[in-house]
Amino acid sequence: MPQSLANTGTQFQSDVGIPVSWYLDPEILEIERQHLFAAGPKYVGHISMVPKDGDYVVLSGQHAGKILVRHDGKPQMISNVCRHRQAQMLSGQGNVKNIVCPIHSWAYDLDGKQLAAPQFTENPCLDLERTELTEWNGLLFAGPRDIHREVAPLASWTELDTSNYVLERVDEEEHDLNWKVFLEVYLEDYHISTVHPGFRVFVDPNDLRGALQFVSGERFFCEQVNVRWPLPTPASPAFAAFQRVMMDVLKGRRPPYAAIWMTLFSGQLLEWYPYAFVATTYTPLSATRTRLRSEYFFDREIAATRRDYVETAAAVLDEVTGEDHVASIQLHEGRRAMYERGENAQGPYQMPMEQGLRRFHDCLRTVVENA
């Protein structure tokens, strides 16, 4: 179980936020791509996406041109681009014995080894690139930075296990915002009382004001907030419906937590809610445009037997996400206006409500200074 670690004595690099220019400067983005995104760890998918041998899913975003496939009981990532004339070979998801190019019938096994090249006198042996994956709590990661080592301080957080969850929904969209803006609203609790009228009533106000349960590392921050108990009168119709169904599912017991947010500074947001989990990947297309892919998972039994829970929980998540998106636009537009005027503003951190944000910014400062 998480414990309060608010008084860690951590030394921070700065008392104010990062420069406004870092949200709009293409040169800063290139440094972030090379030293944050490329290093990882990078979320690839969930074990439930490929439950049987031969199952595959075509990936997108930062893993575009690749597939997640299970072979000999093990998920792995393989290139989905033929080595002959670079055609995309598989689409969507399904189950295959081999990977065959639809243009010239070059064939590969599920390890990426080339099996055939019709009308060639010899097999060119041009195998597909294959990436080994590491599983952590049902989630699959790639990249040179090992996820287990990266988040080792979270080893005792049993609440983070998603191995018995199933995929319910996938959202993909693009927005004219810097990728950091999305992460930052999940790295501070200061905005919740203003931006989230429904959620602020649902959660324990003491957790938001400083009695925080969190763990952080060099490139991640994870925080848990609990429900206000007894549950108060809901402050929005979505929360009213959700609380009613949730208490029926829990048979009147107190929920184990309201939310757990974990940000990997390499562009991933992982969210746990009672019986639900969301994995969002932010892929920067430019300094001012970002692609989002959000995968929504639910406990397997809940997904099969309590569709009312799935529907009401999804409605609450959509409400809170929509409010965060509006806040992100306002933050980005203010910074853009200052940047275009050649001005800068680096406001102070409210501690402890913005300590996650401060840790993220310290990571960015280290990356930029050492680039």
pLDDT tens digits, the chain, 371 residues: what are they? 444 343 334 567 889 999 999 999 999 999 999 999 999 899 999 999 999 999 999 998 889 999 999 999 999 999 999 999 999 999 999 999 999 999 999 999 999 999 999 999 999 999 999 999 999 999 999 989 999 999 999 999 999 999 999 999 999 999 999 999 999 999 999 999 999 999 999 999 888 887 679 999 999 999 999 999 999 999 999 999 999 999 999 999 999 999 999 999 999 999 999 999 999 999 999 999 999 999 999 999 999 999 999 999 999 999 999 999 999 999 999 999 999 999 988 899 999 999 999 999 999 999 999 98
Domain ranges of the chain: 20-41+143-370, 50-137
Residue 3 has what pLDDT? Answer: 41
Q: How far apart are the first and last CA of the chain?
A: 37
* Alpha helices, H only, 52-191: 147-150, 179-184
Residue 271 has what pLDDT? Answer: 98
Residue 208 has what pLDDT? Answer: 83
State which amino acid sits at residue 154: L
Question: Element (H or E) spanning 69, and its range?
Answer: strand 66-71
| Superfamily (CATH) of domain 20-41+143-370 | Naphthalene 1,2-dioxygenase Alpha Subunit; Chain A, domain 1 (3.90.380.10)
CATH architecture of 50-137: 3-layer Sandwich (2.102)
- What is the C-alpha to C-alpha distance for residues 207 and 243, in angstroms, rounded to an integer? 19
- Could you tell me what percentage of the chain is helix, strand and coil, using 3-state DSSP and rounding each to the nearest 5? 35, 30, 40
| φ/ψ (deg, to 5) at 251 | 55, 40
| φ/ψ (deg, to 5) at 23 | -90, -10
Structure tokens at 314: 């999804």
Question: Element (H or E) spanning 304, and its range?
Answer: helix 300-305
Residue 62 has what pLDDT? Answer: 85
State which amino acid sits at residue 121: T
| φ/ψ (deg, to 5) at 71 | -140, 130
Place of tokens 């999804």: 314
- What is the C-alpha to C-alpha distance for residues 140 and 151, in angstroms, rounded to an integer? 14
- What is the C-alpha to C-alpha distance for residues 109 and 240, in angstroms, rounded to an integer? 51
Cis peptide leading into 274, omega within 30 of 0? no
- What is the C-alpha to C-alpha distance for residues 154 and 149, in angstroms, rounded to an integer? 10
Provide CB contacts within 8 A for 7, sequence distance 6+: none
- What is the C-alpha to C-alpha distance for residues 264 and 9, in angstroms, rounded to an integer? 22
Provide CB contacts within 8 A for 68, sequence distance 6+: 44, 45, 49, 50, 56, 57, 59, 75, 76, 77, 140
Place of tokens 């930075």: 145
Residue 11 has what pLDDT? Answer: 66
- What is the C-alpha to C-alpha distance for residues 158 and 160, in angstroms, rounded to an integer? 5
- What is the C-alpha to C-alpha distance for residues 43 and 292, in angstroms, rounded to an integer? 13
Place of tokens 């306002």: 330
Question: Element (H or E) spanning 264, and its range?
Answer: strand 259-264
Whole-angstrom CA distances from 118 to 97, 104, 112 are 18, 8, 17
